[in-house]
Amino acid sequence: GAGVSQSPSNKVTEKGKDVELRCDPISGHTALYWYRQSLGQGLEFLIYFQGNSAPDKSGLPSDRFSAERTGGSVSTLTIQRTQQEDSAVYLCASSLQGRSYNSPLHFGNGTRLTVT
């Protein structure tokens, strides 16, 4: 597709359930990022994939959060045993990372997660 695609656009789940959020980056983009944005807050970095390198997981807030990227393309962010504080918009972005690493990020429309 032309842009970064995320699904679902909205997800309501009960506390304690697991959820999976999907991101389909722009074709050819080797870098993929997950960010979280809570109401009135900036973007909080979660995890970063770059090509075949080991992902940078330094932003994941707890071991309930995990992400994978299969075949260097689609990524899935999984949140286990969801808590109410996990409620936020989860944004995925991709970029064409050349040697200079100076490529702007292109964002998807996000998944709005509400944990009840």
Burial zone of 104 (CB within 10 Å; 0-12 exposed, 13-18 middle, 19+ buried): exposed
Q: What is the DSSP letter of 56?
A: B
Single residue of 7, 13, 50, 87 touching other proteins by CB under 8 A = 50
For position 110 contacting other proteins by CB under 8 A, the verdict is yes
Q: Which of 8, 10, 15, 41 binds other proteins (CB under 8 A)?
A: 41
45 binds other proteins, rule: CB under 8 A: yes
CA pair distance 110, 108, nearest whole angstrom: 5
Interface with other proteins, residue 5, by CB under 8 A: no
